[in-house]
Structure 1
Amino acid sequence: MATEKENPLFISWHDSNWIPMLNPSNILDYFSERSNPFYDRTCNNEVIKMQRLSQDQLSNMTGVEYVLLHAQDPILYIVRKQHRHSPQQVTPLADYYIIAGIVYQAPDLCSVINSRLLNAVYNLQTAFEEAHSYARYHPSRGYWWEFHDKEDSDKSDVKEKKKDEPSSIFQRQRVDLLLGELAKKFPPKFVAPSQPEAREEQVKVEPKQEVKQEKAEDKSTTSSVKPPPEKKPKHIR
């Protein structure tokens, strides 16, 4: 706990009275508040503030100073702490980022690499421990792996049950609304039959009509033809 309190990476600072009116012109004044634990009162900014000089005089001084490195109004500001050796030579010491009025210290490269290595080692250690729990050994059989099939089957059953659960009224109504909007924006298009197909249908239908007419004509001709006269027998005298 003591290391966390001493380490500036674990602390933050803000003043709620300043937050609504923060801008690039007064962000250094906000950072130089006496209650800010990241601010060094022995810096050149404090000297200029006490003597009521302009910030342009910082380049003519030597020592620790704070400058506004980047500003993305109104949410993000980056302040750099640096040691000035000459008007053209400075050495960065630390960076502080202010997000929504809350000040944090940016971690250095050593802290980032150390955190990533610890995270990787922890994940590897947990993986080896889990793999070791599945290993089995017997003098007559040797080594083998024994996985928890029952637990996996139980988990799969639970997943299947969750999949089989019916959807809620909210889900169904929202889906219907989305489908209705899509149908309005992109109405379905019905393809009409092309002209060649219609002509083929006409060609196919016309012969049938001709055949019917021929059959009707045959019937009319057969009905109009009269049978030959009957031969009368001759009387013998």
Structure 2
Amino acid sequence: MATPPVPLQLPPNFEANPPPMGPTPLPQPPGTDMTGICFRDQLWLNTYPLDRNLVFDYFALSPFYDWTCNNEQLRSQSIHPLDLSHLLKMTGTEYMLSEVMEPHLFVFRKQKRDSAEKVTPMLTYYVLDGSIYQAPQLCSVFAARVAFGTAASKLEKIGYVDSENEGAASESKIGKEVIDFKEVKRIDHIIASLQRKLPPAPPPPSFPEGYVPQPTTEEEKAPETQQGGEPQLPPVDPIIDQGPAKRMKF
């Protein structure tokens, strides 16, 4: 057995039609898309508490409100506009408070009532921290999602084509860079002329008296058949031994 709806308790200072604190909004035709705007009356918020009993009166100040709804008829009779016991007996357009998280979030559902059991949802509105918005319809969300996916795929293709073009341009640039042998010979000629003008390198300083160079690794691994009494000559520096006359000529 269904539990009968509990009527909402009105506060002692409740007014059926509290005076609007701002300019009266113009009524909008049914089905108008107003998802790009929001409504907020800070003066009203500073005067009245935003709770489940007064939030509908605040919502009625917004341009989202349909003045031909059944809730407005209840307001004109000094009945709370969200009283479900009266709304179930009426037919036509109405607003229902579907979600409440006082004092931050209130969700209104606009629907068409044909009977006490049959209703058709139309639009959804929400009051978030005093600002009223119209929630987008599901078809609009899907359409925006599809458009976003299409735009993202096109941007990815554009970036892929640009990277391919950059790669082809770099390859063509590398292929066009041909070595100029004339320039190489000219540089070699300049270096050779500079070397001819420079004085020859000075001879290396002689070793100190009594200095014996350390044997290298190859000399340590040499066969022991070598006569130990024979004096070993110090290693010869191949570059120093050639002298200035045996250097490569350019």
1:23 to 31, 34, 51: 51
**1:59 equivalent in structure 2:** 88
Count of residues in Structure 1 that have an aligned counterpart in Structure 2: 135
Identical columns (%): 34
Deviation of 1:102 (Å): 0.4
**Cα pair distance change 1:145/1:89, threshold 3 Å:** same
Alignment partners' CA distance in 2, 1:27 and 1:50:
17
CA distance in 2, matches of 1:69, 1:100: 17
Indicate if the aligned counterparts of 1:19 and 1:100 stay in contact, CA closer than 8 A.
no
SS of corresponding position for 2:38 = coil
Q: Which residue of structure 2 aligns with residue 118 of structure 1?
A: 147
User: What is the distance in 1 between the residues matched to 2:91 and 2:44?
Assistant: 30
Indicate the residue corresponding to 1:49 in structure 2.
75
1:14 maps to: 40
User: Which 4+ stretches in 1 moved above 2 angstroms?
Assistant: 17-20, 53-56, 144-148
Q: Give the superposition deviation at 1:146.
A: 4.3
Deviation at 1:17? 2.3
Deviation at 1:28, TM superposition (A): 1.0
Segments of 5+ residues of structure 1 without an aligned counterpart are 1-5, 137-143, 149-237
Q: What residue ranges of structure 2 are gaps of 5+ in the alignment? A: 1-31, 171-250
- The higher-RCO structure (CA 8 Å, 6+ apart) is 2
What's the C-alpha RMSD, in Å, of the aligned pairs? 2.2
Question: TM-score, normalising length from structure 1?
Answer: 0.53
Q: How many Å apart are 1:130 and its aligned residue?
A: 1.2
What is the CA-CA distance between 1:16 and the residue it aligns to? 0.8
TM-score by length of 2: 0.50
Segment of structure 1 superposing worse, 116-125 or 51-60: 51-60
Among 47, 53, 64, the residue aligned to 1:38: 64
CA contact (8 A) 1:24 1:71 kept: yes
Deviation at residue 19 of structure 1 after TM alignment:
2.5
Pairing 1:1-237 to 2, within 5 Å after superposition:
7-20=33-46, 21-33=49-61, 36-54=62-80, 55=83, 56-136=85-165, 145-146=167-168
Tell me the equivalent position of 2:190. Answer: none
Structure having the higher helix fraction is: 1
